[in-house]
Amino acid sequence: MRRFAVVGHRAMSKGKLPLNDLAGAGGRMDVVVRALMAGLLTSHGLRTNTVVVLHLMGGPGPPRRIKFDGAELKGLHADERSIAGTVGKVIATPLPPIGHWQPITVGITHSGGDLATTMREWKDAPTVILDADAPRLWSENAILPAESLTDVRPMNFVLSDDQPLGDITGENIIHRSLGSQWLQGHMAIAIVHFLLDEGVNINR
C-alpha cells in the first residue's frame, strides 16, 4: 500500500474553484491535480494499491483534506480539468470535522485537518519526506525478491507544491531524496512508483 500526502499551501479549501485559472486564483491547484494524477493513474487504469490525500491549505476557511482511494475509485478520467472539477465539487460542500472522513462518492472522502493530522493517522507506517538535500531513497545495488512487489504493508510519502514544507517531526518519519535536483511533485511521484514497481530496496 502506497500513500501520498500532497500539500497545496495556497490551494483553495472552500468556495467556487476557477477552472480556467487553477494556477492563479485556484492557488496552484494545477500542481496539486497533476500530483493526484501521477499518484493514481496508469496508462490504462488506476493503481488499486495507492491512496492520495490532497491537503488544501489556502482557504478561505480552515484546511481541508480530500482522500482518493485507488482501490475503490470509479470513473476518474485522465484529464486535469475534469479532476479539478471533481475537487471543485468537494470544496463547495460543508467541511466535515477533523478526523471524520465523509464520503463524497465511491472512493472519494473528505475531512478537516492538516498535514499534522494525517501524520498522526499514518504513524503505523514509515513516512518519507521527499527532500533533495537528504540521503537517497533507494539503497545502491539492492534489488528485493519478486515477492516484495506484492508487499501490502503501507509506506507513506509527503510532497509539497512550489512552497517549502518546513520542519515536519513525528513518529516514524524519515527524509529521503530522489536526487540532488528539486523535482516537480508529479515527477517525484512517478519515480517513487517506478522504484517500488521494480522492487528496488528502499533506504529506510
- pLDDT tens-digit readout, 106-142: 999 999 999 999 999 999 899 999 988 888 898 765 4
- pLDDT tens-digit readout, 167-186: 787 778 989 999 888 889 99
Indicate the pairing of strand 155-160 with strand 108-112.
Answer: unpaired
The residue ranking higher by pLDDT, 4 or 146, is 4
* Distances in whole angstroms, Cα of residue 55 to Cα of each of 63, 96, 141: 7, 14, 35
Mean pLDDT of 75-95: 93
Report pLDDT for 76. 84
Mean pLDDT of 90-99: 96
Are 41 and 192 in contact by the 8 Å Cβ rule? The answer is no
Place of cell 483553495: 12
Q: Is the pLDDT reported for residue 13 higher than 60?
A: yes
The residue ranking higher by pLDDT, 193 or 179, is 193
Q: Is the pLDDT reported for residue 58 higher than 90?
A: yes
Query: Which range among 30-44, 47-61, 137-151 shows the weakest confidence by mean pLDDT?
Result: 137-151
Report pLDDT for 100. 95
Mean pLDDT of 153-163: 89
Tell me the pLDDT band of 145, cut-offs 50, 70 and 90. Answer: very low
Q: Is the pLDDT reported for residue 153 higher than 70?
A: yes
Are 37 and 50 in contact by the 8 Å Cβ rule? The answer is no
Total domains, the chain:
1
Domain CATH number, residue 131: 3.40.1280.10
> What's the domain range around 61?
2-202
Report pLDDT for 141. 54
Indicate the pairing of strand 155-160 with strand 2-8.
Answer: parallel
Residue 193: how many CA atoms within 13 Å on its side-chain side?
Answer: 23
First to last CA, the chain: 16
Q: Is the pLDDT reported for residue 151 higher than 80?
A: no
